[in-house]
């Protein structure tokens, strides 16, 4: 990437500020459960953390590889059920269930992704919706295995070397670690050949194919990666809530995940974090106005789509390139320039 040499100077100048910011953010994140007024607020953040993982997965598939995966909710369910069954039937702890859930969801995700070799655009959208529905129907109806509509209860929270992680405040660190690892992993693969192939397929399928990108392989890989994220989120969710039922993992949950990812910003990993934090928190605090809250939520989606289609991250970019931001920080014009149009480089 040639642009990097251009930004080198500016990057070095801003390096100190960046480290300081990261350090401060790290401290806030580590101390949050200790200063949070009550456990319920930690619970909301934990749930948001789980959504961040799923949203990162969806963003990789949709925002970076351009593959419509509208089965994220049910795939999340595959992860949750794998962990719940292993835990309640065989007594296996979270630490082993987590990889198992990721593998299970990844496999199912690969199957959901198979049609991407043949169909695109809204056809792919409805095919993944359909296959997601099938997964959900199996969860509801395979009563002997999944417990049917009643779901599975009494999943045990994990212990770490004999220390029980049995409260939201303690579990918080598990989720924090998972989100950090998930974020860094996503950034890693998106800067790798895999990520470049993803973007090539998204931007121009035919051209990517002509350039020798193995499109079928990378399309399915995009589905598998997104499903692995959903699977990890599922295992974490099952062990946090200790009760799961199929109605949590239906098409509506796929939509909720899609919405938070779009509101945050498709094609921006930070956007996923912003969206996945903002929506569940908003939903929690606006619960008092009940249905009006949901109406407002719908209106907000439409406003975002019509006026800021890039989501929150586009707002940030607009602000950055605005005169006001220039006057506030008087930044190096070179560093400002490179940012524009390079929006999807994580």
Partner 1 sequence: MNSGIFIQTIIGGLGIGSLYALIALGYSMVYRSMGLVNFAQGSIYMVGTYFGIIWYAGIVVGLRVPYPVALLIGILLNAMLGVVLERIFRPLAKLDLMFMLLGTIGLGFVLNNLFVIIFGAEGFAVKSPLPDTPIIVLGIRVLPQMLLLIGGAAALMTALQIFLKRGKLGVAMRASAMDHDIASAMGIPVNRMNALTLAIGSALAAAAGILAAPIVYVNPAMGSAIGLKGFAAAILGGFGSIPGAIVGGLLFGVLEAVSSGYISSSYTRGIAFIIMVLVLMIKPTGIVGETTVEKV
By CB under 8 A, is residue 306 in contact with partner 1? yes
Stretch binding partner 1 (CB under 8 A), from 93-101, 115-123, 232-240, 320-328: 115-123
Minimum CB distance to partner 1, residue 2 (Å): 28
- Given 259, 268, 272, 312, the residue binding partner 1 (CB under 8 A): 259
Minimum CB distance to partner 1, residue 138 (Å): 7
C-alpha span between 161 and 319 (Å, rounded): 48
By CB under 8 A, is residue 329 in contact with partner 1? no
Q: Does residue 53 contact residue 184 with C-beta atoms inside 8 Å?
A: no
By CB under 8 A, is residue 76 in contact with partner 1? no
Q: Which is nearer to partner 1, 61 or 213 (CB)?
A: 61
Minimum CB distance to partner 1, residue 63 (Å): 9
By CB under 8 A, is residue 145 in contact with partner 1? no
By CB under 8 A, is residue 223 in contact with partner 1? no
By CB under 8 A, is residue 282 in contact with partner 1? no
- With b for 16 or more beta-carbon neighbours within 10 A and e for fewer, the 55-93 pattern comes to bbbbbbbbbbbbbbbbbbbbbbbbbbbbbbbbbbeeeeb
By CB under 8 A, is residue 60 in contact with partner 1? no
Minimum CB distance to partner 1, residue 115 (Å): 6
- Given 10, 100, 107, 125, the residue binding partner 1 (CB under 8 A): 125
Q: Which is nearer to partner 1, 35 or 306 (CB)?
A: 306
By CB under 8 A, is residue 286 in contact with partner 1? no
Minimum CB distance to partner 1, residue 135 (Å): 9
By CB under 8 A, is residue 295 in contact with partner 1? yes
Minimum CB distance to partner 1, residue 171 (Å): 31
By CB under 8 A, is residue 138 in contact with partner 1? yes
By CB under 8 A, is residue 266 in contact with partner 1? yes
By CB under 8 A, is residue 3 in contact with partner 1? no
C-alpha span between 265 and 277 (Å, rounded): 13
Stretch binding partner 1 (CB under 8 A), from 31-39, 137-145, 207-215, 234-242: 137-145
Minimum CB distance to partner 1, residue 113 (Å): 12
Contacts with partner 1, residue ranges (CB under 8 A) = 62, 68, 115, 118-119, 121-123, 125-127, 129-131, 133-134, 137-138, 140-141, 251-252, 255, 258-259, 262, 266, 291-292, 294-295, 297-302, 304-306, 309
């Amino acid at each position: 990437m040639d642009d990097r040499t251009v930004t080198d100077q500016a990057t070095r100048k801003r390096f100190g500020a960046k480290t300081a910011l990261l350090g401060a953010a790290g401290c806030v994140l580590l101390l949050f459960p200790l200063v949070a007024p009550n456990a319920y607020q930690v619970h909301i953040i934990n749930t948001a953390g789980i959504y961040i993982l799923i949203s990162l997965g969806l963003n990789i598939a949709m925002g970076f590889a351009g593959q419509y995966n509208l089965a994220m909710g049910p795939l999340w369910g595959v992860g949750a059920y794998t962990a719940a069954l292993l835990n309640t039937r065989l007594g296996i702890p979270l630490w082993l269930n987590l990889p198992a859930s990721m593998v299970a969801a990844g496999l199912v995700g690969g199957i959901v992704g198979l049609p991407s070799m043949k169909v695109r655009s809204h056809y792919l959208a409805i095919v993944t919706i359909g296959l997601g529905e099938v997964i959900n129907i199996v969860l509801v109806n395979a009563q002997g295995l999944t417990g049917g509509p009643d779901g599975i209860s009494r999943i045990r929270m994990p212990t770490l070397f004999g220390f029980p992680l049995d409260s939201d405040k303690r579990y918080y660190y598990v989720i924090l670690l998972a989100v950090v690892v998930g974020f860094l992993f996503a950034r890693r693969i998106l800067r790798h050949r895999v990520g470049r192939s993803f973007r090539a397929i998204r931007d121009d399928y035919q051209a990517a194919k002509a350039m020798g990108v193995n499109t079928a392989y990378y399309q399915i890989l995009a589905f598998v990666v997104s499903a692995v994220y959903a699977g990890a989120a599922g295992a974490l969710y099952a062990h946090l809530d200790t009760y799961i039922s199929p109605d949590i993992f239906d098409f509506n949950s796929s939509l909720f995940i899609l919405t938070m990812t779009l509101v945050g910003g498709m094609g921006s990993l930070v956007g996923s974090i912003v969206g996945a934090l903002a929506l569940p928190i908003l939903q929690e605090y606006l619960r008092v106005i009940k249905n009006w809250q949901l109406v407002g939520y719908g209106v907000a989606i439409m406003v975002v789509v019509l006026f800021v289609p890039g989501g929150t991250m586009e707002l940030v970019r607009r602000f950055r390139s605005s005169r006001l931001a220039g006057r506030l920080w008087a930044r190096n014009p070179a560093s400002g320039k490179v940012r524009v149009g390079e929006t999807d480089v994580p």
